[in-house]
Amino acid sequence: MTSGSRQIRERLNWRKKNAQSEPKSDAVQIGRSMQTQALIQSKPVEILLALLVAASLLGGATACDPGHSVEYQNRTDKRLEVLINGRPEVTLGPFEKQNLDLLEFRGTQDFEARDEDGRVVYFETFTWAQLKKRGWKIVITEAAPTGGSPTPIEAQ
């Protein structure tokens, strides 16, 4: 047998041996190709969704005024809970003051302070402009006869 015929015979034997596994490898290749194609198609969608989420978060954060720090001063000898529109915001000890950030709002907000027995010792309604005019301070003193204690307006 010549070397050329031997090579041909070896190739034919190799093809016979591998003929049964070729369809499997084609199926695997097709499956991998489909997975790759699905991955390529899904990546742009994932990237687009991530960009949309990031843009909406950034847009939401910059679309409104970031607000302002408001100083709450408790000038009483009582522990007080400060509420905005009925929601607890901060608890102040006697003669304590704290700064809290307040997001800009439209319309009015009700600011109140209650003592440990739940009695209202301070109540005022402010607009954003009024709060700004008062120097971003809410001063709580002993209850005035009207049920509230007006926060002094700072000279500008």
Residue 62 structure tokens: 């910059």
Calpha distance 111→113 (Å, rounded): 7
Q: What is the pLDDT of residues 90-104, one digit of tens each?
A: 999 999 999 999 998
| pTM score | 0.51
Name the band, by pLDDT with cuts 50, 70 and 90, for residue 156.
very low
Which DSSP letter does residue 148 get? Answer: S
Query: pLDDT confidence of 10, banded at 50, 70, 90?
Result: confident
Name which residue leads in pLDDT, 151 or 91.
Answer: 91
Q: For residue 73, give both structure tokens.
A: 């001063």
Q: What is the pLDDT of residues 33-91, one digit of tens each?
A: 666 666 566 666 666 666 666 666 554 444 455 789 999 999 999 999 999 999 999 99
Any residues with CB less than 8 A from the CB of 97 and at least 6 apart, and which? Answer: 71, 72, 73, 74
pLDDT band at 113, cuts 50/70/90? Answer: very high
Residue 30 is which amino acid?
I
* Reported confidence tier of residue 145, pLDDT bands at 50, 70, 90: very low
**pLDDT value, residue 61:** 46
**In angstroms, rounded to a whole number, what is the distance separating the alpha carbons of residues 136 and 152?**
11
The residue with tokens 């008062």 is: 134
Write b or e for each residue in 70-100: b if 16 or more Cβ atoms lie within 10 A of its Cβ, otherwise e: bebbbebebebebbbeeeebbebeeeeeeee
- HSE at residue 126, side-chain half, CA atoms within 13 A, is 26
- Convert the pLDDT of each residue in 12-44 to its tens digit: 776 667 655 545 556 656 666 666 666 566 666
Pairing outcome for strands 108-114 and 120-127: antiparallel
Residue 127, strand partner residues:
108
Dist. CA 134–CA 145, nearest whole Å: 21
